[in-house]
Amino acid sequence: MNNKILSLAVILFMAGIVFMLAKNTGGKNINDKKENTGIAEPDSQAAKQSYSDDWQRFKNESEHKIQNNENRITAFKVKMVKSGKANYNKEIAKLEKTNRHLQKKLDQYKNEGKSTWDRFKKVFNKDMDKLGKAIKDLTSDND
């Protein structure tokens, strides 16, 4: 009986030591691999800088497109006034409202992570393309 208890105690003791060693060295190896392989963590400085650069480039391009839309709408309004066609006022007002809404949406965007950024960018580009097509359709119908 003493042999069984002693054997069980030795096995539990050895299992505990193996568990402790695996836990201690396992954590160090994971950290060492991250440092040695150069794998970037999601919150690393390089990832943040890349996101920041991408966001600034996207914002500048979008603001340029919004300004171009505004210029095209204004030019169309002037053309309609000169030609005496005032029946496009509702469509023009709708396009101006959409353009202002997109500018406001762009200005109010907050960094909430990569997945939110990807969703925002996809929806914003879709809305911007839709507005651009609407402006083009309206202005080309009247040339």
pLDDT surpasses 60 at 74: yes
Note whether 57 and 98 are same-domain residues. Answer: yes
pTM equals 0.63
Note whether 117 and 67 are same-domain residues. Answer: yes
Note whether 63 and 129 are same-domain residues. Answer: yes
Give the pLDDT confidence of 32-69 residue by residue, as tens digits.
444 445 554 555 778 777 877 888 899 999 999 999 99
Note whether 3 and 59 are same-domain residues. Answer: no
Note whether 133 and 64 are same-domain residues. Answer: yes
Give the pLDDT confidence of 109-120 residue by residue, as tens digits.
887 777 888 899
Note whether 73 and 114 are same-domain residues. Answer: yes
Token pair recorded at residue 114: 């990569």
CA distance 132 to 99: 9
Note whether 27 and 86 are same-domain residues. Answer: no
Of 139, 61, 72, 59, nearest in space to 99 by CA: 72
Identify the band that residue 126 occupies on the pLDDT scale cut at 50, 70 and 90.
very high
Note whether 29 and 72 are same-domain residues. Answer: no
**Are the beta carbons of 95 and 73 closer than 8 angstroms?**
yes
Identify the band that residue 97 occupies on the pLDDT scale cut at 50, 70 and 90.
very high
Host domain of residue 8: 1-39
Structural domains in the chain (count): 2
Note whether 25 and 9 are same-domain residues. Answer: yes
Give the pLDDT confidence of 4-17 residue by residue, as tens digits.
776 767 676 777 77
**Helices of type H across the chain:** 2-37, 45-83, 89-108, 114-141
Note whether 4 and 64 are same-domain residues. Answer: no
Note whether 35 and 83 are same-domain residues. Answer: no
Note whether 34 and 52 are same-domain residues. Answer: no
**Residue 18, burial from CB neighbour count under 10 angstroms (0-12, 13-18, 19+):** exposed
Which pLDDT score, from 0 to 100, does residue 34 have? 47
Where is pLDDT greater, at 102 or 20? 102
Which pLDDT score, from 0 to 100, does residue 142 have? 63
